[in-house]
Structure 1
């Protein structure tokens, strides 16, 4: 995504934030349409951008100040240059003195690093001293100037491209004066400074905006969107300054940290290694300390506390070296306001480093050492005079967590509640506030104060629902525990409390799902190629930000006249914007982490259907069943780790390392059933179809593979598989089911089928260009294993024959390209068949989106166009009742991790207009694949639902194993990989003349 496209997707008020730059006054020029009234024309800069000048803020100076001007070029709100007119002599000695020392030079040195002044002249021949500088923030070329003006000395500094404007104003010349004259000596020096650069004031403004946006998104814990902002900032810097310029280090480390926050440690480490080599030469003196600081946070996130402590200790020493001794040794409560930006940054960095040292120590059994570090972190924040509210809130949250680790639940709850109040002021209604309320609720519950706990949980849940956010599973489970305890204590309220449990369970999401949803939501306007959708999403984002701004205003200055009315109006604007998005993009809710009400779920369930949802925890788990308007819940001792072990054991027994049938042990499949569904068997009696919303590692298996009782591994065809008891439909979430089943009738697309298969893989050279050796070489080797699937040609041709599709309705071999997909009128097809590999993050670490593999176009230099990513799928216009993906693998190289990504891939197809997906969980036998797909299609022709049709095809294989099929087909390797995701009820209308198919 380009920087400009990303900027269009960010909330408007974020675009007014620029780290490290001075903002203009209230009447400043902020948009091209305001030029006539907001400032005076100042001519063009060196890049030909029009500039305006206006009265500016006072700067420190050693002589009386006659006037201060600020220059704004190219439509950005941050000043491109500042000019200070002094009263006094302008002889050579005075110019030298001003250029080499004094108040202005000290102020300048805090923001930029400069070479020695050069003696030169400006327009009109006035004597001057020119300083070639580099901005500490961002590393952009900067120019400073001390010149003899017509009325006294002139001080000027700005982006290097603003040098012509600075000269004109210093010389007292009007815009356009001197046109046709020879360049001044000062400009010649500046031109040499800019000769190897290709940047403008807009570039600097974009960079600062992107950095500020990334910072705010990070603080809001929206790490995927922060990644996009920092990645765009880094790309802009690398284009202008080069990949080896030391001043790109800050964008590198911020990007690395946000990758780490998403669990992408390998990618982050590559960037950290680059940053480590560049930091010592960076203009920003805090760069080396920041690299160590963020590396420590990344190590802690990766579960490496000792490594984290080592990095944080180095960061601590690096920051401390930039601070005055008096500040390091100051007494608690002493205030020492810092005027030096480097020292201020170091103070904030040291405070955060010590706070995070406390976090690491608290998690490694040394919590007793943490309070002293927290106290010192607080003292350092006070030294800065006005610490950001979110930093104070995070400090209080860390203190609360430390008390919790020490077993002091009451003290922990008090600090966490104080932190929540701080977050409510600094970032109202955002995820950090909700997280902190849930932490406080858990502490209140642990201390026996269940009423207070539920109050905190419910307040946090209201934020999550309003903002369509989610939390990690461990944060949500105590809420379910508290509701269950309340239900047991108050039987009369038990039914209502169980309903609340169902809603509460939907507030939890795994990290990979969250990342996909954040990325998809941020990119949906651009990906869809629909300006109406893009504009609607942008208006919703703007409305969100405007409401947050009003909340912050209310919390900072209670009682402002008319503020409540403005908030009410803003809430209505947001509601209208959300309705507009829903109308422009009906599938948008598929991409959001939203909850479905019990009544809405019950309304879409058939009489003999039940929804099963679950949350797997570290010590225990919850399973909930929705049937006939009631919620049944069971707390089980099955843990996430044990479920993962059982899933891996099941998959290893299904398919071995060589891709062949494994030595299947029935015990893990039976143990999973016993831990998940057996406690709720009574609620599932006589249910024909189970709609399952799996969690965590359970996303990596088809639930029909569970065993409801003992089985003989020598007679697997007659084993009590769950698929024999129920048809099974999988959904990413209850909301997905409600949305899909609420779309109305079946597809009315005129064409029955579109089939794609037998792709031609990219060659080794193409793969290496797409997966660079420095960070993705292992991925290139894995991708090379994506061999051609010749059996898929036969599979597609068989379904084409069955459905009487035309030859032009299929694309095979080298014709199966991304372009062919886009041009195939997919919205005209009721069934879309993609018989190819589906790659899921966890298989390829450098491919961070779920993707399907297609043939590269002829002559492609790399393999980029061989991977159709989920964000690309968002732009497809489908009207399909069923999409068949017959070569997925949810296991990944380690046997785990792909299930969540499959859920993300399904969300993308659902957004694009699909109602259901038939997928595989492991590489499937060609004969079995053709049999399952073709028999399912025949059953749907006969009127069976998609879920019943798949179940019938799988049971046919089980029943016929050893009869009309080889005996080994009773092994789950052959019949079990297929799973249905989505609606599960709607069968495509294949043909009005289609004959009824026999039931198997």
Structure 2
């Protein structure tokens, strides 16, 4: 799903709240007053049925006060609108105004309210031009009556909504910024304010201001949750608005939780086949797709499309096109551009009757259609199509806006393919300058910007454009931006922290980063707060506010003592000469970048930069990565299953072309910088020559030209200057072999181990965790590591000592090597686990500080000065989300805690193999080999050893990767 394209999918803001009619009271005025003071039921039909008798009564009463009549008309009109009868609502508003004017009271406030609501109803029924005129009349009415105080702010916001409908985004934001300035803590109209804030959040997101969008989206949801009845429609829209911004910055699991809550509200209040349920289901499908659940996501998208076609919205007539946009993306991701084109043309056809109401979505469809045409080599058609999108986006959005970035970068690539190199370069220079400025101004620059997928894709395209134009230095800079992993900023900040001008500056920098992490963790917990009590939600809100205040205080102090921290802590692309000068002998840097129609590889050696490409696009790369991972899973379950060497050869030959291999001649160690699907594999298992024999034959597997035979490989989070060597710590700490032990043959469902509570997932049953399989080799593995290193300060925590409490209470700064030999759980191994974790010995009674799981958040709070952390655990390098860099999660957390390098596993590792590889790698490292070379030698030795079951198969020998700054 193109998550940005929900700009006008938001609750129409009823400026005066509607309420339910309680039991009959003695007289009309009293019943009207009770109506005003009562809560509105979430069921719109029940609401209409309860207001109806009062409306009938005022119409049947000849002498009713005009003000009473107008007031009841207002509530009845709102009830009609809630039931999608906007034309009836507009007529009711007109009746109320006519009664007041006939009585000579045309300047009463009630007339202005009815006028405003009439404009809202016009907007709801899809006539934004009429709505805009009516609302501007209401603005003039209230300015003359009340000035800038009171309802005027809501009127401005309502005008902004109509401008959004018309695609006039910049103008709309101007109205929102004035209307939402200096909001009171307790708003008298929370429905209106929450909805307006949610729409404002959408606008900010469309402009690429993700930080501000998150702030507005959180506030909208906070108001809806705290000041509106449970299950209110405004809450559902606030949930989806916040979720969509989270989607754009790569926080898919959090977005999924919010979308599911919105779907539940829609189903409960409006029915499973309602417009709201269809729309929110569409967004939910998008979050599932981003997490790799394509089959489920496509089924939900088709179900949503059926609902939206059966229940179209006059307010948002573009939702069918949004669903078709998502379906086209599924086709594109399957490598079927012609099918995608057909779906996108159906989307455009569905937008034909919408006029200006469809302009924003029309631009998105045209941009994707241009991409489908590009994929088919129809460059002239693609350029004409993308130009239509760019014309609108340049007029109505900022250079950092996600959809504009997508369209502009695609246009540059098309121009390059058409031989218009200078025009393509000019486009990219402006684009990269704008993106760089955007990334450096906010929190996302330091934490999440690398997860904005359209930005990464734009940098890949601009790398391609610059290389074709012969501007290799520019290409190298944009390649680093494209390949920057999510832990690059963490690693950069560690270097800056270590280089702090004073111990005070270094400590403040550490506190700054720790507090950033706490704030992010609390924000995630708030997003996962579904089903928690109001008390618990209030606690999380309070702690989040405290973390923000603390971060502001630390920032002021840090800026005072270390003014360069901010600029220096953001990763900066390095020049080719800077990288060449920093390369160790026989080392080279490799940056593989899967693009729209080819895979580009940049290689930097001491001789300079070389690049080449292969006709393998990002869809094909993702498909081959999926095939390799599937063959690994099969092998782990069935040792005779074999390994998909053909897919490994396709990838290996695409990355390591003859030209690249020639440039690498004489180099034996590769530092790989990358992100995306390719980086979810240890690259040592790629194949560099056509495989011979059967994939199931151990002899053929051993003779295969695996990349690891030629090169030692380490993953770099970014090309970051070396940080000063740590001194004063020369010890080994081994942690693992927790007290566990499933009964023989027992299967433990890890998804059943958890319940949500406090600020993290707490084990519901520590005995259930204890039933995870024991690790008989783990204790001896740690002891053998200790013996191999022979460091003066060594300590091993196993069994009853391998607890969170023991670890968190220990001074860990004296250990240069820290190893964990235990189970690793990822958030994909159980839906209840919000983040990856290492299993330690559970306490007798779980609590928020010690539940037997050392989560990524727990790890990041540790203080380390380790040269190397070894994670001999399943999936310790796995990313949080599908498509994320394969070295996030626990790896990122250990970098945050202060580790220089890591040995991580990319899939479940057999206990005996983990023992063999980790100990042998440590031994060879202690003998003087580099970390990557030590792992390479250990792997080659295992591969040759036919006494180890399955040792010829990469599923057994290839799970570990070195991640090194």
Residue 611 in structure 1 maps to residue 589 in structure 2: yes
Given that residues 842 and 892 in structure 1 are in contact (C-alpha distance below 8 angstroms), is that contact kept between their aligned partners in structure 2?
A: no
Larger Rg: 1
Given that residues 673 and 715 in structure 2 are in contact (C-alpha distance below 8 angstroms), is that contact kept between their aligned partners in structure 1?
A: yes
What TM-score does the superposition give when structure 2 sets the normalisation length? 0.61
Distance 1:949 1:299, change over 3 A: closer
2:729 — aligned with what?
Answer: 750
| CA drift at 1:835 | 1.8
| CA drift at 1:622 | 1.5
Q: How does 1:783-794 map to 2 (within 5 A)?
A: 787-794=773-780
| CA drift at 1:841 | 4.6
The answer to which of 356-365 and 679-688 deviates more is 356-365
1:508 — aligned with what?
Answer: 482
Residue 280 in structure 1 maps to residue 270 in structure 2: yes
| CA drift at 1:443 | 4.0
Q: How does 1:720-869 map to 2 (within 5 A)?
A: 720-732=705-717, 735=718, 737-739=719-721, 742-745=722-725, 747-760=726-739, 768=752, 770=754, 787-804=773-790, 809-845=795-831, 847-860=833-846, 865-869=851-855
Secondary structure of the residue aligned to 1:464 is: helix
The one of 666, 669, 673 aligned to 1:686: 666
Given that residues 924 and 977 in structure 1 are in contact (C-alpha distance below 8 angstroms), is that contact kept between their aligned partners in structure 2?
A: yes
Given that residues 766 and 863 in structure 1 are in contact (C-alpha distance below 8 angstroms), is that contact kept between their aligned partners in structure 2?
A: no
How far apart in 1 are the matches of 2:231 and 2:62? 39
Q: How does 1:370-385 map to 2 (within 5 A)?
A: 370-371=347-348, 373-374=350-351, 376-380=353-357
2:424 — aligned with what?
Answer: 453
Secondary structure of the residue aligned to 1:826 is: coil
2:438 — aligned with what?
Answer: 467
The one of 923, 945, 964 aligned to 1:938: 923
1:350 — aligned with what?
Answer: 317
| CA drift at 1:203 | 12
1:365 — aligned with what?
Answer: 342
Given that residues 687 and 706 in structure 2 are in contact (C-alpha distance below 8 angstroms), is that contact kept between their aligned partners in structure 1?
A: yes
Q: How does 1:110-125 map to 2 (within 5 A)?
A: none
Given that residues 644 and 698 in structure 1 are in contact (C-alpha distance below 8 angstroms), is that contact kept between their aligned partners in structure 2?
A: yes
The one of 72, 96, 101 aligned to 2:70: 101
Distance 1:530 1:939, change over 3 A: closer
| CA drift at 1:683 | 0.6
Secondary structure of the residue aligned to 1:828 is: coil
Secondary structure of the residue aligned to 1:499 is: helix
Distance 1:247 1:485, change over 3 A: closer
Distance 1:450 1:465, change over 3 A: same
Residue 885 in structure 1 maps to residue 885 in structure 2: no
Given that residues 648 and 686 in structure 2 are in contact (C-alpha distance below 8 angstroms), is that contact kept between their aligned partners in structure 1?
A: yes
Residue 414 in structure 1 maps to residue 387 in structure 2: yes
| CA drift at 1:845 | 4.6
1:697 — aligned with what?
Answer: 677
Distance 1:109 1:675, change over 3 A: closer
The one of 926, 938, 960 aligned to 2:911: 926
Q: How does 1:324-339 map to 2 (within 5 A)?
A: none
Residue 270 in structure 1 maps to residue 260 in structure 2: yes
2:599 — aligned with what?
Answer: 621
| CA drift at 1:941 | 3.1
| CA drift at 1:279 | 3.5
Q: How does 1:38-117 map to 2 (within 5 A)?
A: 97-101=66-70
Q: How does 1:378-397 map to 2 (within 5 A)?
A: 378-380=355-357, 395-397=362-364
1:329 — aligned with what?
Answer: none
How far apart in 2 are the matches of 1:818 and 1:950? 29
| CA drift at 1:202 | 11
Distance 1:415 1:641, change over 3 A: closer
Distance 1:758 1:229, change over 3 A: farther
Given that residues 275 and 308 in structure 2 are in contact (C-alpha distance below 8 angstroms), is that contact kept between their aligned partners in structure 1?
A: yes
How far apart in 1 are the matches of 2:361 and 2:606? 44
Given that residues 917 and 935 in structure 2 are in contact (C-alpha distance below 8 angstroms), is that contact kept between their aligned partners in structure 1?
A: yes
1:498 — aligned with what?
Answer: 472
How far apart in 1 are the matches of 2:883 and 2:262? 26
Given that residues 462 and 478 in structure 2 are in contact (C-alpha distance below 8 angstroms), is that contact kept between their aligned partners in structure 1?
A: yes
- The C-alpha deviation readout for 1:514-558, integer Å capped at 9, x for no partner, is 69989x99xx9xx9996545899999xxxxxxxxxxxxxxxxxxx
- The C-alpha deviation readout for 1:659-695, integer Å capped at 9, x for no partner, is 5745545555444432321422101111021112345
How far apart in 2 are the matches of 1:627 and 1:647? 27
How far apart in 2 are the matches of 1:538 and 1:428? 31
Higher strand share: 1
Q: CA RMSD in A?
A: 5.7
Secondary structure of the residue aligned to 1:936 is: helix
How far apart in 2 are the matches of 1:912 and 1:355? 42
- The C-alpha deviation readout for 1:597-634, integer Å capped at 9, x for no partner, is 33332232123211111122464311221112522112
Secondary structure of the residue aligned to 2:862 is: coil
Secondary structure of the residue aligned to 1:440 is: helix
| CA drift at 1:636 | 1.1
1:564 — aligned with what?
Answer: none
- The C-alpha deviation readout for 1:154-177, integer Å capped at 9, x for no partner, is 9xx999xxxxxxxxxxxxxxxxxx
The answer to which of 371-380 and 105-114 deviates more is 105-114
Residue 908 in structure 1 maps to residue 893 in structure 2: yes
Secondary structure of the residue aligned to 2:667 is: coil
Given that residues 383 and 415 in structure 2 are in contact (C-alpha distance below 8 angstroms), is that contact kept between their aligned partners in structure 1?
A: yes
How far apart in 1 are the matches of 2:913 and 2:303? 54
Alignment coverage as a number of residue pairs: 715
Gaps of 5+ in 2: 1-10, 17-60, 84-109, 111-116, 122-145, 152-184, 329-338, 440-448, 498-506, 520-554, 743-747
Given that residues 751 and 830 in structure 1 are in contact (C-alpha distance below 8 angstroms), is that contact kept between their aligned partners in structure 2?
A: yes
| CA drift at 1:266 | 6.6
Secondary structure of the residue aligned to 2:732 is: strand
- The C-alpha deviation readout for 1:102-146, integer Å capped at 9, x for no partner, is 5995799599999xxxxxxxxxxxxxx9xxxxx999xxxxxxxxx
Given that residues 766 and 862 in structure 1 are in contact (C-alpha distance below 8 angstroms), is that contact kept between their aligned partners in structure 2?
A: no
| CA drift at 1:459 | 1.6
Residue 953 in structure 1 maps to residue 938 in structure 2: yes
How far apart in 1 are the matches of 2:215 and 2:739? 32
| CA drift at 1:884 | 0.4
Secondary structure of the residue aligned to 1:888 is: coil
Secondary structure of the residue aligned to 2:887 is: helix
How far apart in 1 are the matches of 2:770 and 2:204? 37
Distance 1:281 1:932, change over 3 A: closer
Given that residues 246 and 281 in structure 1 are in contact (C-alpha distance below 8 angstroms), is that contact kept between their aligned partners in structure 2?
A: no
Distance 1:972 1:876, change over 3 A: same
Distance 1:814 1:532, change over 3 A: same
2:411 — aligned with what?
Answer: 440
Gaps of 5+ in 1: 1-17, 24-91, 115-128, 130-134, 138-153, 160-198, 322-345, 382-391, 488-496, 540-572, 984-1000
How far apart in 1 are the matches of 2:489 and 2:768? 26
Given that residues 476 and 507 in structure 1 are in contact (C-alpha distance below 8 angstroms), is that contact kept between their aligned partners in structure 2?
A: yes
How far apart in 2 are the matches of 1:795 and 1:806? 19
- The C-alpha deviation readout for 1:323-344, integer Å capped at 9, x for no partner, is xxxxxxxxxxxxxxxxxxxxxx
How far apart in 1 are the matches of 2:518 and 2:908? 41
Residue 215 in structure 1 maps to residue 202 in structure 2: yes
Secondary structure of the residue aligned to 1:506 is: helix
Secondary structure of the residue aligned to 1:981 is: strand
Secondary structure of the residue aligned to 2:822 is: strand
Given that residues 730 and 792 in structure 2 are in contact (C-alpha distance below 8 angstroms), is that contact kept between their aligned partners in structure 1?
A: no
